[in-house]
Structure 1
């Protein structure tokens, strides 16, 4: 957003816009990752464009690093995974982020959220629910705390 030339190239390849998310809002990183997934194709088109190739001369190291991430399927898989197991957490926080009384919903939503997080983590790790997942244990401990 703060680099006019890159922003100009980006606006030529996609109708969607980047977001400026305030760090003070909850889950700002999740909001940004969701937006990155939405604009993935535009970002990829941008870094393979002729304009990007000519622009990168200003700072070749950074431009190559950005291009490497944007075109890396493993990196996008990690973004997808992060979004998949944080989605239930995000949805619960969103549901509770209201001025209306909602404490009576929290207990029911809590169990559902924990189960959905577990399912996503175990699916990624390709292990049965009876097996112990160190990552899930860490996430569960954080959620309980």
Structure 2
């Protein structure tokens, strides 16, 4: 994990790929729980028998489930010290180019895109690319925007 001890160090990392998180398995239980919480119980996510006959041969994770993993995976790659808090501010340029089959492993790569001072702190844009182990395309790519408050 890369730990930045100042905003200046983070600014110097703009345009730099910081590395990857550990691999994490996305389980059917997680997919089912996400479906229950969000009310998105589409068959491709939760009906294992029907999904086995579907286009992917198995159930797949919701795109937004994959997106929800971004924060935790990113924390494994980098952190910035000396701030009272870091909060999610939003997301730009979100895409889901490939599915995440149940039981597959994913990890996130992180690149710092920009660091911008604002009224309350600093906006940090990090491009997070979630890949599926053995996959040809990323499962998701998002410019995740965080607000660091001194």
TM-score tier, shorter chain, comes to: under 0.3
When normalised by structure 1's length, the TM-score is: 0.24
More strand by share: 2
Q: Which has the higher contact order (CA 8 A, sep 6+)?
A: 2
The structure with the largest alpha-carbon Rg is: 1
